[in-house]
Amino acid sequence: MKTCPSCHEEEEDDDERFCVSCGFELNKSNTPPPAENTEQTSNQETDELETENETTVNVMETTDTNGKLILPDKNAFIIDSCQRLVGRADLKAYTNEDPNLISRSHFTIYKENEKFFIKDGVTNVQNKPSENNTSVNDEKLMEDERELQNGDVILVSDVKLVFEV
């Protein structure tokens, strides 16, 4: 049995790659870090390895941009190549209104071709908009999907979220 590190939902199937509740990639976060090389190396070899590793990290950072959905308490959901469904379970702690004004599957954010998009209540399983409204920069989300830009403000009931790249 696995527990999702994002929504803390327990997954019955240990072979499940994504959390059934929130879509978080389980294997990605649960992969143990690579074992460290314990052999002795000279200072020159160590410097060469560090330079090589820094170069690799810099290349990876520039080619794989993730988005962030910043919550009111400054915690964030990372938006990577997996879709992220956001709903009542994620936001009820931040609302001063009736939590039922937030749908269980309120909106989905996903990344496609290095751009980020939002859809109102649409997931691979459920293909209908939420019954409650979602606004982006004070405009009700009406289109099938909308491209998100850095700094966009998403309003769900009375909960303000900020999208960052």
Q: What is the pTM of this model?
A: 0.59
- Helix, coil or strand: residue 29: helix
**Who contacts 101 (Cβ-Cβ below 8 Å, separation ≥6)?**
95, 132, 157
Residue 40, domain member (yes or no): no
Taking 70 as the threshold, does the pLDDT of residue 55 lie above it? no
97/157 same-domain check:
yes
78/159 same-domain check:
yes
21/87 same-domain check:
no
19/81 same-domain check:
no
Residue 109, domain member (yes or no): yes
Q: Which domain covers residue 93, as residue numbers?
A: 67-164
Q: Where are the beta strands (DSSP E) in the chain?
A: 2-3, 10-11, 67-70, 76-79, 84-86, 107-112, 115-120, 134-136, 139-140, 146-148, 153-156, 159-164
Q: Tell me the pLDDT tens digit for each residue of 58-112.
A: 444 445 689 999 999 999 999 988 889 999 999 999 999 999 999 888 899 999 9
> Closest by alpha carbon to 85, among 113, 114, 118?
118
Considering its fold, how many domains does the chain have in total?
2
